[in-house]
Structure 1
């Protein structure tokens, strides 16, 4: 039960410097105190656990919830600058600041949780009220942080109590040992938690089972201690406990904007959230501002074509198999989640720059022309204006230039508040994931039954997609394909693919070459567009998903047959299998050499 020196230093701040938050149970900043003898009352325990929650405010990019950034470290999305995506452009090394921050932030959660749990231990018999619930919450958050570390770094230092100086220069603990402890630990606190927390933002029993299912999927997929099947069984059973305790929201889009998140059905699906608020001590983020058009935002993160081409047509067939797919109009006849998640050329986008009527924005996206249509809300007319995505000093960062013609609509389709100061919550875990966790674990166990089929089809039905084809039933490989497809299209931009890529070992497929996108236009010698790219598309410009059996299984599109006709970025993109694990940060190794480095770094 040990940790590194850096994590020891964090311990000194465990009970001071808490971040404030908007929700009632976090909306205070306790004075500095020693944990020794403090946790003798419900109020003290609640105060201490508030500090654990506060440590979830991890910004891996400026004013951005951590989970939003994680999927940009995969092949499905990328950051603004070329070849900088962690794990695919050579920037992944022991001195990488984001890698170091992810290590430190998760150990901060663990250290704070351990401080409260250890401080309260001598007083357990006399603690009353909700004290046991709050302590159980601390254990759930600790398990969540260890899950993040295991997925990113593999073996890590493991401790369940504040460490002593003798433990400073520690070694790392095998993954299975950590997972087994956490699974048992979570089992021991389930009855201390309500199924649905009364205070939004708190973890509850459904989240505890959700973390358990994540741990089981991770350990099962990577076959920790050669116990893969046993861990998949844990994942399935944990997810099964939640099925029926929660419901899916009626409308997918409602999950990701301020107005929708006020609805009871959305609250029910959103099991674990990072809470934001425009009341009291205001707490905001800038998800939308960093992923929209340069006409009203900054555009720092981009979805990729590999993700876009994973969405089926509305008949339930992949685009290379569906007669409904038209490469001239790739947005047409698609899974509705395509349009709920992504914006692209010729879409009408809406937003708000200041949260008032005067800040409303409505315009037509264009990846080709220097002008576009912009709506004037005063005169209720469409006017032609400068297209900053093409014709501005900052156009190099736009979805047309730094991106491949796609923008995130998820968390950006915000009409009632400023995209530069958003207070919609950031979802860390929701019921749709639980259904897919259950289905995947059962599929890996080859226990294919109606409960598996129903779990996947519930998620599809919510977005008005048909049930998957009956020919998949009973076929493990075909079921594996559909559940992986659903995880990508349902949960994009929620931080889960960062781990899925590692579990499924598909980093080489997603990052085997450049990122391709929209069709290039025809231009005159002076640069003027003579014919837009989509007008030049031919019927054979359909991605090839069958370059190999692994490409087919994982829905990885290949564009080699017509790549010279497409927008391209990340020409130097590459993959090395060492990227499946992050390097141990160098500053950690400098303080604790016994940690050792992951292979290849």
Structure 2
């Protein structure tokens, strides 16, 4: 990927996307001298801001740099280095995320600065579009401040030589919360859309994002109230089938608050890139043993089958030996005769498990290269768990905390035993943290949770993989290939500022110890 610094990105006026539909992205250019004349100009410009939203890499792959997953090595400059603890400022994967978020900021700033020039259009629609752009800018700054800490807070289009230094993280967080408050109180965003506009930002999304950034930054009262406001809307509910929530059947359900929309024939991705070799996939991303250990058992543990009676969410999240997969059975044990055998080739799993979440085998098997399952960025279960966590941290251990957690655990298709009352703050803290790990695995949230809880060192050490039985043995053992990860608490809670930015922007500084 070509490296581009934000100083240049923020001054170039290019709209990527000239279709009314959010899903259809095609290149085009528009001049400031003829643009911003009518409502359609604003619509196309806002659609371009959506095009920079997180996709599979930051939803599925990001969890592989944490304590619950593994990202395979496929050359230098990938998320593998982030997971390994060998990240550096020239890492291409990190640079590409920085550039993408600032492209989103630049595009949003263009809209926010120019939309009021439009005279031909519905004032209510234009106000909504402006609020959408402001939300998207707030989303990008939520991610930027969470990953890099202090970042340039740029709120207007820049001239080509206008370099900016880093603003304190607290200033960025204050801005995002105040911006979301203005969006929320303006009531410019609807609670829901008709089918033609599904996928656009809603009032509930603004509240949920406010809860997220507040929780990430220890503002528990703000997070509690914002999450409660989402719950009080009466718009959202848990989707009954946990597995199908991450397939085509669950798209645009009442659990989805905000997502990245994809469509066949428009914006697509390789659906099996992070999946099993049996279905023609590549094991780029894998769940590991540490995730497996976090799932509880519904009943007695069977020493002859550690996968029996386990929380159903494990079965919906990972492929493991013995599971049906298409017309075959997944088998990654060392004596397997299938293409899934652990370390069989460069495409096979390194640690024995494969990612099942986000796979719709029946519908994508014909052409996985044009997968189009929407990437959920915020959903209702996350809001319930954010509410519970905020209340726990405030030591407000009332019945609503138990209800929020148990609603998630009690979802049809999951039906885990409810958490009983009488727990201490410390006990509930561990319960809600574990619940987030198993409920939200491989949804791009684990790194942010680990960073704010300061438990980054839990990913360090030998990476352990699947439970398996050696040939001729009745004992279950844990596979590993000897890979050891590192974590530096004095450095790795933040990502490095990309080196290319450091070289071009003389006002920006590097994060410590890079």
Normalised by the size of structure 2, how large is the TM-score? 0.90
Matched, 1:245 2:238: no
Structure 2 CA distance for partners of 1:152 and 1:84, relative to 1, 3 Å? closer
Would the alpha carbon gap of residues 14 and 70 (structure 1) be closer, same or farther in structure 2, given more than 3 Å must change?
farther
- CA–CA distance in structure 2, aligned partners of residues 331 and 345 of structure 1: 10
Deviation sequence 1:209-248 (CA, Å, 0-9, x none): 111111101111xxxxxxxxxx211111111111033111
The whole-number CA distance in structure 1 between the counterparts of 2:458 and 2:429 is 17
- Aligned residue among 486, 490, 513 for 1:574: 486
The 10-residue stretch of structure 1 (209-218 or 32-41) with the greater mean CA deviation from structure 2: 32-41
Q: For residues 144-191 of structure 1, give each alpha carbon's deviation from its aligned partner in whole angstroms, at most 9, with x where no partner exists.
A: 1011111110000001111235631x2211111111111111111220
**8 Å contact kept, 1:346–1:366:** no
* 1:287 correspondence with 2:271: yes
> 1:9 — aligned with what?
8
The 5 A counterparts of 1:124-135 are 128-135=123-130
Return the offset for 1:132.
0.7
Structure number with greater Rg is: 1
Runs of 4 or more consecutive aligned structure 1 residues displaced over 6 Å after TM superposition? none
Aligned-partner Cα distance in 2 for 1:90–1:458: 36
Q: Is the 8 A contact 1:14 1:51 kept in 2?
A: no
Mapping 1:525-564, distance limit 5 Å: 529-531=471-473, 535-537=474-476
Which residue is equivalent to 2:45? 48
1:364-408: per-residue Cα shift (whole Å, max 9, x none)? 42413343xxxxxxxxxxxxxxx11239x9535423xx12x2221
- Secondary structure (helix, strand or coil) at the match of 1:215 reads helix
| CA shift digits 1:299-352 (9 cap, x unpaired) | 22111111111011115xxxxxxxx123431111111111111121111122xx
Aligned partner of 1:438 in structure 2 is 387
User: 1:497: how far off?
Assistant: 0.6
Matched residues in 2 for 1:509 and 1:364: separation? 29
Contact 1:272–1:428, Cα closer than 8 Å, also in 2: yes
> What's the CA shift for 1:435?
0.7
Partners of 1:366 and 1:245 in 2: CA distance: 42
Q: Residue 378 of structure 2 aligns to a residue in which SS?
A: strand
Shift, 1:506, TM fit: 0.8
Correspondence list, 1:346-385, <5 A? 346-350=322-326, 361-371=327-337
* Shift of residue 104, structure 1, vs aligned partner: 0.7
1:320 corresponding residue in structure 2: none
Give the direction of change, closer, same or farther, for the CA distance of 1:396–1:101 in structure 2 (3 Å limit): closer
Equivalent residue for 1:483, pick from 432, 436, 442:
432
Match of 1:530, SS state, is coil
Which residue is 2:374 aligned to? 425
Partner of 1:141: 136
Structure 1: runs of 5 or more not aligned: 59-63, 221-230, 316-323, 351-360, 372-386, 523-528, 538-564
TM-score between both structures, scaled by the size of structure 1: 0.78
Select between 417-426 and 185-194 the one with higher mean Cα deviation: 417-426
Partner of residue 462, structure 2: 514
Asked if 1:464 corresponds to 2:415, the answer is yes
In structure 2, what is the Cα distance between the partners aligned to 1:521 and 1:203? Answer: 49
Measured against aligned partners, the alpha-carbon deviations of 1:60-86 in whole angstroms (never above 9, x if no partner) come to xxxx45321211121211112399734
Q: Are the counterparts in 1 of residues 272 and 280 from structure 2 also a CA contact under 8 Å? A: no
Are residue 73 (structure 1) and residue 65 (structure 2) matched?
yes
Determine the structure 2 residue equivalent to 1:378.
none
Change (3 A) 1:457 1:448: same
